[in-house]
Amino acid sequence: MPVGGLTTRGPRNLLRQIREAMAGASPAQDRLDTVVRIIAQSMVAEVCSIYLRRASGDLELFATQGLKPEAVHKTRLRPGEGLVGEVARSAAPISLSDAPSHPSFSYRPETGEDPYHAFLGAPLLRGGRAIGVLVVQNRSERRYDEEEVEDIQTIAMVLAETVASGELLGQEELRDIEVAPHRPERLKGQAFAEGLAYGHVVLHEAPVPPENLLAENQQVEEIRLREALIGLKANIDAMLEGGQGKLAGQSFEVLETYRMFADDRGWNRSLEEAVRTGLTAEAAVDRVRNEHRARFAKARDPYIKERLHDFEDLANRLLRVLAGDSPGERDLPPDSILVARNLGPADLLEYPRHKIRGLLLEEGSAASHAAIVARALQIPCVGRLMGLRDRLSEGDLVIVDGETGEAYLRPRPDMLSAVQSRMEVRSHRQAEFAKLRDTPAITADGQRITLHTNAGLAVDLENLDATGAEGIGLFRTEFQFMVSEELPRLDSQTALYKLVLDTAGTRPVTFRTLDIGGDKVLPYLETTEREENPALGRRAIRLGLDRPGLLRLQLRALLTAAAGRELRVMFPMIATVDEFRAARELVDVECAWAKRRGRELPALLRVGAMIECPSLLWHLDALLPLTDFVSIGTNDLFQYMFAADRTNPLVSDRYDPMSPPALRALAEIQRKCADTGTPVSVCGELAGRPLEAFALLTLGFTRLSAPAGGVGPVKRMILSADLAAARRGMANLLGSSSASIRGELETLARKLNVAI
């Protein structure tokens, strides 16, 4: 019986033969048949087969040497079916000495594979997902050794890239293969940042061209890899030292972790081993990245998934070092749409802002780093687009619809024309909003409304003057912590808060203390205990009170930054009056600490609470006298009220904020605040949408804090509203038994000529 393994150790000669076969002018099927014949001969295998994934998910036998020829294009395996399906599902190689005895074995009589026992399959990985499977088989019951497994993985990688590039199969043969889509597609995701844009795809993770996969000189590639790793570390060190001033404060601590990962022995060893198999340095990085992605993507632990993003970012940075460029130096088209699985905290800011029109993400959330930065830069962004990366090629035309949360890939001309028309309308509206920048927010019947904006990044501060907002009603301090792999130091926090106050000048700023936990996990604050329901667990003020040193450090930074000026501090997720008392006592402790050391305190200190836990609705009489102000976080208040996670697409649409229960709760808070003379504002997403903001005004609210993009539309609505008449109309709607009164509110607004 023949023994498996390459006749010449190392796949370089074999890969060269495959490339020569692909370069021929013969029909695609003939070239595929030649490829499997070459692989079978070189690996001394009696069977070699290539399966490719159809759009349906089925794996179709595309070529074989050793099985019955009539099975080609006839044998199809359902997703996960058989050993081939298991290789694709696991995205990892499988080696068996007796395949028929394996529980996943699926017998297909038309293939004639009865005599073959030994089985070795490797996935054709592209973008971390299997687009096909390469299989070799032998009659004898034997175990393939580690070198043979390594060889077939290298061959599979090259095949994946050449198939996807169209070198092995033409567009006609690839028409139903999920590797090089060319038809118009519409993907539904989630809107992370509002707006419309169209342009040409720029892949954040630039693919390695097939012609750059095979090494001409192994030693040269080893040297290139070694020098690139040194350059990568030097690049990270330079960013750490300079800070670049692009993120809030000195918030590049995350790069310290990248530096640590760059020294990771396992990662470095995997790269070195891949180069020794005959790959170029670029191909080695791409292969290791694919293997990490396939393995980490199956993890349920959010911390482990975050580590995948760290390694992804490292791999992308290393490829850029090898190419001798950076995102800012790439020759990007002026209408670039950036496409990525996810983005690290500094990635989006490294691209030339004037060329990035939109952002599409496979993963992420509205609270992710990329989404926050996109909103600050007013770049339309849609995320949660499953399978996006593998449906696009560099240069494809795409539409980003941040209004509906959709992406249109390779759109038809009529769809593009429709979007261009919508963009013209938006442009005219934006020009109208810009004219209102310095106009006071006074309703048609003379009522003064205070309109603030929300912020969380240094780049958000640029919007303060542009929008004409009267101040910052909510500054989210947690972003500085989220981009760090260690606790931001006192001087770093102080510098950020001072920058915010300096930029705001005489305009008020309300700082919300650290709101982490739930879906915002900080690795350096993790405990050994895993919470089954973190959204209802130890987050926000609960974490701050459990770890008073953490909260006191932040309060000390805030007091130091605001010396001689007004300071407004707000505690999030207060569920009981005792929690607010305890938090306020920590403020007093820090004030006393500063006094003892002769430090200047804020000229005026106001301490408030966020109302976002329904429990407070029945204890406002006890809470309000203790506060200087309160603010309503409608996002959390309503998700807790309706027991529906707003980040979960399965349930996030189960309630409407414009429902009688939600509006009655808001009306009750406003009434209690008016009775006690407590200033109250609304700082949730509702305050940034004209119809919802109109509803808030009819309930008696006169202080709103909206995202930067919502300030203009809400101000236009305010100027057109006759609140006296609107409040009379709302009073009749609150008693409705309907699940939502959104339609009735729209009718009321139109009747009163309110610009919504």
Active site residues: 369, 683
**Residue 373 · residue 149 · CB < 8 Å:** no
Residue whose entry in the numeric block shows the structure tokens 């399906």:
85
The residue whose two tokens read 């900080």 is 522
Q: What share of the chain is helix, strand, coil (3-state, %, to 5)?
A: 45, 15, 35
How far is 690 from 675, CA to CA, in rounded Å? Answer: 27
* Alpha helices by DSSP H, 351-477: 369-377, 413-435, 462-467
In angstroms, what is the C-alpha Rg of the chain? 30
Exposed (0-12), middle (13-18) or buried (19+): which is 112, by Cβ within 10 Å?
middle
Q: Which two tokens stand for residue 715?
A: 């101000």
Tell me the C-alpha distance between 715 and 467, whole Å.
10
Amino acid occupying residue 230: I
Contact 199, 212 (CB under 8 A): no
Q: How many CB atoms lie within 10 A of CB 668?
A: 14
> In terms of Cα–Cα distance, which of 195, 715, 705, 714 is closest to 476?
705
Q: Determine the Cα angle at 373 with ends 371 and 374, to 5°.
A: 60
> Of 453, 531, 144, 189, which is closest to residue 339 (Cα–Cα)?
189
Q: Are 292 and 308 in contact (CB under 8 A)?
A: yes
Closest CA to 481 of 472, 493, 491, 473: 493
CA distances from 105 to 39, 113, 538, 570, 740 (A): 23, 11, 47, 61, 53
Q: How far apart are CA 694 and CA 342, in angstroms?
A: 35
Question: For residues 425 and 118, what is the distance between their CA atoms, to the nearest angstrom?
Answer: 65
Structure tokens at 92: 């990892």
- Kindly tell me the burial class for residue 548, based on how many C-beta atoms sit within 10 Å of its own C-beta (0-12, 13-18, 19 or more): middle
Other Cβ atoms less than 10 A from the Cβ of 180: the count is: 20
C-beta separation of 477 from 554 below 8 A: yes
| Run of H or E residues at 308 | helix 302-323
CA–CA distance, 325 with 319 (Å, rounded to integer): 9
Distance of CA 445 to the CA centre of its chain: 44
Instruction: Encode 716-732: b = buried (16+ Cβ within 10 Å), e = exposed.
Output: bbbbbbbbebbeebbee
Residues 490, 496, 498, 502, Cα dihedral to 10°? 170
Structure-derived torsion over alpha carbons of residues 127, 128, 129, 133, reported in degrees to the nearest 10: 100
Alpha helices in 468-512 (DSSP H): 478-482, 490-504
